[in-house]
Amino acid sequence: MKKNHHQFGVSIQDNGSLKFKVWAPNVQQVELNISSPYHLRKPMIPEQNGVFTTYVDILSFPVEYTYILDGYTERADPASTWQPMGVNGPSKVCDHTSFKWNDEDWTGLDLKEMIIYELHVGTYTAQGTFKSVIDKIPHLKQLGINTIELMPIATFAGERNWGYDGVLLYAPQESYGGPIGLKQLVNACHQNGIAVILDVVYNHFGPEGNHLEDFGPYFTSKYTTPWGKAINYDGEYSTFVRDFIIENAIHWLKYFHIDGLRLDAIHGIFDQSAYHILEELRDRFAKAAEEEGRQACLIAESDLNDPKYVSPQTNGGCGLDAQWNDDFHHSVHSFVTGSRVGYFEDYGSVEYISKALTDGFVYDGIWSNFRKRYHGKSSAEIPGFKMVNFIQNHDQIANASHGLRLASLVDKKKYLLASTLLLLSPSTPLLFMGQEWATKTPFYFFTDFEDTELQEAVRKGRLKEYSLNGISEGFRDPGDIETFRECLLDWNWNKDEECMEVFRHYQKLIALRKDHPALNRSADSQTNVNYSEEGEWITIEKSTNKGDSCIVVINFSESPKTIHVDNHVYQSKALYSTENIHQFNDSITLEPLSFAVYDSTHICV
């Protein structure tokens, strides 16, 4: 028997009527309760396996509604696409046909070309809205960014949150601008040649406003996650749960023209089915993208160091397009900061930076002192562009560095060297908002729960994490609005010459990455790395089968270093470097904490 896919929520029929469909096997009856544009309470028709449907003729919008479960429990639609009054308010029908798109010529962006810029809508600007992000598109274009990645925007409790506590996955957060605001942002980005990736959470739901268990077995007790109940992907009725999640991914692609999804913490997605949920998600998402005539990607976050997630399905993998590479961050961060706290104790060498550049995972089956076991599997056969590298992201700033940006932990020279490694690495680079001008604005964890007991529990939990790391100062209460306000980016940075210098550095490196043949197509390039642990230097040579070559030489040491290189570098064209580079027949002498980039094919960039 062919499997039927279930689409829930509200759909507009050809005759103009609305079809309401909800899955609720945990109850005996469901009533549709419309509160606008008129009042109507109507029993829904039960179908097989707990599905309820009904049709309503609507003469005008907006339409606001809830579901009444077993005669007394009133809840928002689990597949609501609009929650103007928050997680506990009524749902509102979003007429997707009414929005005027102007991105007809946009067909997406190849992952190999992406330079990703992660941002949190609520703190990116003082206004904290999708519209205010649109206002910053000229800045992003000037920098050279061609892809933005939005931290989760699915409806969460309150008005400020990282977004990983979302409870209504189909509805964009109202305080950011709701569904219309998100469409306007994506539309504007596409008109400016910028792709939009959305961070989605398919491993748990947030605690406040989460009423899914009133409807059906969305969760399972077979597995546990650190953040909440595990989602039921392989138990009874899991077919409907899987459809709910996969249709959510397609929802963003189809109705909001999203160019890709970043799948949060897939190590918290548990499924023992023969057809893993991530494989099914990949297949159906790819098919939907093909039907829409656009490129779209799926990028995973995982701490398992397992290449199977991005390996082809023909080789037993899940076939996802890329995954975040924590090992690159940990290697660079621990080396330039000297930190050996927590998992950073496993890193801190130039050798590991070299390995992260060439192989992807550093921990590929070797012993981890932090974990007290062997960890990972080799990713050396995975193309470089399938690894997303970063030196900062929301997690690493707020959790590993307790809110402090890298620019607050190292001096400018080390910051520029770390940035050079990132942007000229063979992997897909990701920046975190404000990184491009070395902002020192912190980024803390913050929430806005109405439940005071829940808020206090979150505060105690975060404080305990600080205590376990031996830190007694710098703690910020997640529920204090001042914690949130401290995270708002300061857009007066361009009045500071040092910030401008860093910004120009990022501009130059991004331009080099885009324009140089050996840098702009990672999948078609080969990478060779040499290094000296004692000398604290590294060289990265990237070349193509067409003979194009680019060499990056970096001195991390506090003293000058003479670095032996291939003879052909002597004849190379210096593309970009710090001052006082001394070049000899077979060596280059770099000043302390400096770098040089050479084009050995004499291509003028």
Q: Is the pLDDT of residue 120 over 80?
A: yes
pLDDT at 4: 63
Residue pLDDT, tens place only, 385-411? 999 999 999 999 998 888 999 999 999
pLDDT at 53: 98
Query: What are residue 387's DSSP bridge partners?
Result: 323
Q: Tell me the average pLDDT across 187-202.
A: 98
Residue pLDDT, tens place only, 252-301? 999 999 999 999 999 999 999 999 999 999 999 999 999 999 999 999 99
Residue pLDDT, tens place only, 326-346? 999 999 999 999 999 999 999
Which residues contact residue 457 at a Cβ distance below 8 angstroms, ignoring those fewer than 6 apart? none
Answer yes or no: 558 catalytic: no
Strand-strand pairing, 373-375 and 366-368? antiparallel
- CATH assignment of 9-98? 2.60.40.10
pLDDT at 603: 37
Q: Tell me the average pLDDT across 480-491.
A: 97
Q: What is the DSSP string of 185-240?
A: HHHHHHHTT-EEEEEE--S---STT--HHHHS--EEEEEE-SSSEEE-SSSTTHHH
d(CA 37, CA 57): 11
Q: Is the pLDDT of residue 524 over 80?
A: no
Q: Is the pLDDT of residue 13 over 50?
A: yes
Q: Is the pLDDT of residue 144 over 80?
A: yes
d(CA 596, CA 605): 15
Q: Which of 77, 301, 326, 436 is catalytic?
A: 301
pLDDT at 581: 66
Question: Can you give the residue ranges of every domain in the chain?
Answer: 9-98, 533-605
Answer yes or no: 501 catalytic: no
Helices of type H across 469-533: 481-486, 497-515
Model confidence at 584, in pLDDT bands (50, 70, 90)?
Answer: low
Q: Is the pLDDT of residue 420 over 50?
A: yes
pLDDT at 574: 80
Cis link prior to 172 (omega < 30° from 0)? no
Q: Is the pLDDT of residue 545 over 90?
A: no
Q: Tell me the average pLDDT across 68-72.
A: 97
d(CA 101, CA 224): 42
Q: Is the pLDDT of residue 324 over 90?
A: yes
- The 10 Å CB-count burial string (b at 16+, else e) for 407-435 is bebbeebbbbbbbbbbbbbbbbbbbbbbb
Q: Is the pLDDT of residue 604 over 50?
A: no
Q: Is the pLDDT of residue 472 over 60?
A: no
Q: Which of 247, 264, 279, 346 is catalytic?
A: 264
Model confidence at 588, in pLDDT bands (50, 70, 90)?
Answer: confident
Lowest mean pLDDT among 106-120, 248-262, 465-479: 465-479
Q: Tell me the average pLDDT across 172-199.
A: 98
Residue pLDDT, tens place only, 35-67? 999 999 999 999 999 999 999 998 778 899 999
pLDDT at 552: 94
Model confidence at 463, in pLDDT bands (50, 70, 90)?
Answer: confident
Q: Do domains 9-98 and 533-605 have the same CATH topology?
A: yes
Which residues contact residue 152 at a Cβ distance below 8 angstroms, ignoring those fewer than 6 apart? 162, 163, 164, 166, 198, 199, 200, 201, 264
Fold of 533-605: Immunoglobulin-like (2.60.40)
Regarding pTM above 0.85, the answer is yes
